[in-house]
């Protein structure tokens, strides 16, 4: 039996999930469409759908351009890989979540017409948009103008809010899942009351403006293959990693799927805005594993670092979407759309610019070991910077004190030497005076007294001449002792005393 769900518009997702599946006759698929074959060759039919060609394939499945003969229209038929719906539980979950996505009815969301399965083969039939993806447009044209980027993400945010309001989280928003329909512009109000789909023509003639600016295209969100409904969120296994690494939220990259909610889609919108502004996603490493680690631990480089002309307010909006903690992002996609509208209108935005201190604090939390090491180095350098001058000043002060003490010691020594020399000079002068007095007295034994005074004077001279302090410039140099003069007798019978030779007895 083939289980098929026709697209409807229930009041709520709960009503749709409780609705019974419609039965239809089983259509035998040809051998080429066997799920085990892995679609190495394009099948001719899948159920009642006639396959025209393959449109593309990704990590989750393959997308074919097919024709629905019952309604005579072209559809995009997405078939998940066999391992994605290997068990009965996975197939049931795929169909249930597909029904929830089919409830979405928004001008900027590719509508899902049908969700069903043929045996073990499941499929999603959605409207076919004959346009290019935003990823292809970025590869060919490069970054968009800031106002154009803000307008496009604003439109996408409104569409995402429509899905969130019905309990559907996309979980895989990225430029390749945004199609650009150049038959309509973002300001085409007719899309609010009519759907651009339903035509059986391929639409190639309608894309004459494909080379114009992005303002002349209508962005359409597609590929809800990884969508999660709020009602059955508890069935997601923790530890699985679903999505595209460069556009995953940190909680999604870490495999904490129980924490993945609307904030993950807001993060992805910020990543799309980042790429529209700079031409590259926030994180793109040499491998998916390295990218996942960067998403979890590293802060995204500010867009102005890669494109300096980016307005600061728009950069603040983008970085607020890319916050690591879900609670620090915009609470709803509507708040994001409103802030982008304020930016385009020249009004102050709610997003706050990140200061240098906050950046340092985030880097510290993301790299605790390196931050601790850097902090130690900074403290050491500050200690050296402050302590070195203090130590130098202390050494200079001690050196000055030592020099002053040495000068005082030298001065005291000089004063002591001068006092000692002055005392010796006084003694020398006293002995000379004594010797002269003895010579002039003429008393008996004067020769003996004079000789004794001469001996003492000579001893004082020898003491002074042997003192090393005698070379002091302040020392008073006494005169060398002279031979005592021989007094002459003035009376009769006295002879003049002359010098005696050393051999003359006294």
List, for residues 150-161, the tens digit of each pLDDT value.
Answer: 999 999 999 999
Report which secondary-structure segment, H or E, holds 441. helix 368-441
CB 114 within 8 A of CB 128: no
What does the pLDDT look like over 97-150, one tens digit per residue?
777 778 888 989 988 888 887 877 888 898 888 888 999 999 999 999 999 999
pLDDT value of position 119? 76
pLDDT of 74 strictly over 50: yes
Tokens for 195, please give them.
Answer: 């759907």
> Across residues 272-291, what is the average pLDDT?
93
Of the candidates 117, 52, 44, 37, the residue with the CA atom closest to the CA atom of residue 79? 117
- The CA distance from 4 to 65, in Å, is 19
pLDDT value of position 55? 86
Of 164-173, 189-198, 385-394, the poorest mean pLDDT is in: 189-198
Sign, CA dihedral 81-85-87-90, equals positive
Q: With cut-offs at 50, 70 and 90, classify the pLDDT of residue 164.
A: very high
Of the candidates 312, 338, 316, the residue with the CA atom closest to the CA atom of residue 328? 316
Beta-bridge partners for 168? 229
pLDDT value of position 354? 63
If you count DSSP H runs as helices and E runs as strands, how many of each does the chain have, helices first? Answer: 13, 13
- Conformational region of residue 49, where left means phi above 0, alpha means psi within -120 to 50, and beta covers everything else: beta
pTM listed for this prediction: 0.63
Q: What percent of the chain has pLDDT over 70?
A: 66
How many CB atoms are closer than 10 A to CB 157? Answer: 28
| SS3 state at 110 | coil
pLDDT of 452 strictly over 70: yes
> Across residues 339-360, what is the average pLDDT?
81
Report which secondary-structure segment, H or E, holds 337. helix 333-344
Q: With cut-offs at 50, 70 and 90, classify the pLDDT of residue 433.
A: confident
Of the candidates 163, 94, 146, 144, the residue with the CA atom closest to the CA atom of residue 123? 94
pLDDT value of position 326? 92
User: Got the DSSP string for 246-299?
Assistant: GG--HHHHTT-GGG-SHHHHHHHHHHHHHHHHHSS-S---SSHHHHHHHHHHPP
* CATH number for the segment(s) 2-127: 3.30.200.20
- The CA distance from 434 to 428, in Å, is 10
pLDDT of 396 strictly over 60: yes
CB 77 within 8 A of CB 64: yes
Q: What integer best gives the mean pLDDT of the chain?
A: 75
> Across residues 411-418, what is the average pLDDT?
87
Of 78-82, 244-248, 328-332, the poorest mean pLDDT is in: 78-82
pLDDT of 399 strictly over 90: no
pLDDT of 343 strictly over 70: yes
pLDDT value of position 489? 43
Tokens for 167, please give them.
Answer: 């309990």
What does the pLDDT look like over 371-386, one tens digit per residue?
778 778 888 888 888 8
Cα separation of the two ends of the chain? 164
CB 17 within 8 A of CB 96: yes
Tokens for 344, please give them.
Answer: 């385009």
Angle at 311 between CA 305 and CA 314, to 5 degrees: 95
- E-state strands within 94-177: 112-118, 121-127, 132-133, 168-169
User: Got the DSSP string for 58-80?
Assistant: -SSEEEEEEEETTTTEEEEEEEE
Active site (catalytic) residues: 172
Q: With cut-offs at 50, 70 and 90, classify the pLDDT of residue 282.
A: very high
pLDDT value of position 27? 32
| Strand pairing report for 2-6 and 112-118 | antiparallel
Place of tokens 């690591």: 324
> Across residues 205-217, what is the average pLDDT?
58
Of 67-71, 215-219, 294-298, the poorest mean pLDDT is in: 215-219
- The CA distance from 307 to 257, in Å, is 33
Of 289-293, 309-313, 341-345, 364-368, the poorest mean pLDDT is in: 364-368
Q: What percent of the chain has pLDDT over 90?
A: 28
- The CA distance from 316 to 318, in Å, is 5
pLDDT value of position 29? 36
> Across residues 335-363, what is the average pLDDT?
81
- Conformational region of residue 496, where left means phi above 0, alpha means psi within -120 to 50, and beta covers everything else: beta
| Domain residue extents for the chain | 2-127, 132-354, 367-394, 421-437+448-463
Q: With cut-offs at 50, 70 and 90, classify the pLDDT of residue 393.
A: confident
Q: With cut-offs at 50, 70 and 90, classify the pLDDT of residue 229.
A: low
Tokens for 201, please give them.
Answer: 């023509």
pLDDT value of position 43? 83
Of 78-82, 342-346, 471-475, the poorest mean pLDDT is in: 471-475
Of the candidates 253, 310, 312, 235, the residue with the CA atom closest to the CA atom of residue 278? 310
CB-neighbour burial class of residue 386 (10 A; exposed 0-12, middle 13-18, buried 19+): exposed
Of 31-40, 162-171, 243-252, 475-484, the poorest mean pLDDT is in: 31-40
pLDDT of 480 strictly over 70: no
- The CA distance from 206 to 131, in Å, is 9
CB 94 within 8 A of CB 85: yes
403 versus 275: the higher-pLDDT residue is: 275
Q: Which residues contact 1 (CB under 8 A, 6 or more apart)?
A: 23, 24, 26
| Strand pairing report for 61-68 and 73-80 | antiparallel
> Across residues 457-482, what is the average pLDDT?
57
- The CA distance from 438 to 208, in Å, is 146
Q: With cut-offs at 50, 70 and 90, classify the pLDDT of residue 278.
A: very high
- Conformational region of residue 284, where left means phi above 0, alpha means psi within -120 to 50, and beta covers everything else: beta
The CATH homologous superfamily to which domain 132-354 belongs is Transferase(Phosphotransferase) domain 1 (1.10.510.10)
Q: Which residues contact 82 (CB under 8 A, 6 or more apart)?
A: 35, 36, 38, 120
């Amino acid at each position: 039996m083939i289980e098929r769900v026709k697209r409807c518009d229930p009041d709520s997702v709960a009503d749709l999930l409780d609705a019974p599946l419609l039965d239809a006759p089983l259509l035998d698929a040809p051998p080429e469409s066997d799920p085990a074959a892995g679609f190495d060759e394009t099948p001719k039919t899948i159920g009642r759908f006639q396959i025209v060609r393959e449109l593309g394939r990704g990590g989750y499945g393959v997308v074919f351009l097919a024709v629905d003969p019952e309604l005579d229209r072209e559809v995009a038929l997405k078939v998940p890989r066999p391992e994605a719906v290997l068990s009965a539980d996975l197939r049931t979950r795929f169909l249930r979540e597909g029904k929830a996505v089919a409830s979405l009815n928004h001008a900027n969301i590719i509508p899902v017409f049908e969700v069903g399965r043929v045996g073990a083969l499941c499929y999603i039939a959605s409207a076919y948009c004959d346009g290019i993806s935003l990823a292809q447009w970025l590869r060919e044209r490069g970054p968009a103008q800031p106002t154009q980027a803000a307008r496009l993400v604003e439109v996408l945010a409104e569409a995402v809010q429509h899905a969130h309001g019905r309990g559907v989280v996309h979980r895989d928003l990225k430029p390749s899942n945004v199609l650009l329909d150049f038959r309509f512009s973002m300001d085409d109000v007719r899309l609010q009351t009519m759907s651009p789909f339903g035509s059986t023509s391929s639409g190639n003639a309608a894309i004459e403006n494909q080379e114009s600016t992005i303002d002349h295209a209508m962005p359409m969100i597609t590929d809800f293959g990884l969508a999660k409904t709020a009602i059955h969120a508890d069935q997601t296994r923790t530890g699985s990693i679903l999505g595209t690494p460069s556009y995953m939220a940190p909680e999604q990259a870490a495999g904490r799927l129980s924490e993945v909610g609307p904030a993950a889609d807001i993060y992805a919108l910020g990543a799309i805005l980042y790429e529209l502004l700079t031409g590259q996603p926030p994180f793109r490493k040499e491998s998916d594993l390295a990218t996942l680690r960067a998403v979890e631990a590293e802060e995204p480089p500010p867009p102005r670092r890669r494109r300096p002309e980016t307005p600061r307010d728009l950069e603040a909006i983008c970085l607020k979407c890319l916050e690591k903690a879900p609670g620090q992002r915009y609470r709803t996609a509507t708040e994001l759309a409103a802030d982008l509208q304020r930016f385009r209108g020249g009004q102050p935005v709610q997003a706050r610019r990140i200061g240098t201190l906050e950046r340092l604090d985030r880097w510290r939390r993301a790299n605790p070991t390196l931050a601790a090491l850097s902090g130690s180095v900074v403290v050491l350098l500050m200690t050296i910077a402050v302590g070195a001058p203090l130590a130098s000043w202390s050494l200079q002060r001690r050196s000055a004190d030592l020099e002053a003490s040495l000068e005082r010691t030298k001065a005291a020594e000089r004063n002591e030497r001068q006092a000692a020399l002055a005392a010796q000079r006084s003694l020398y002068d006293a002995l000379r005076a004594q010797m002269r007095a003895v010579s002039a007295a003429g008393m008996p034994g004067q020769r003996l007294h004079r000789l004794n005074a001469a001996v003492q004077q000579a001893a004082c001279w020898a003491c002074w001449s042997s003192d090393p302090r005698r070379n002091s410039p302040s020392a008073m140099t006494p005169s060398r002792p002279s031979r005592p003069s021989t007094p002459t007798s003035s009376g009769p019978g006295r002879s003049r005393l002359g010098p005696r030779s050393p051999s003359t007895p006294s």
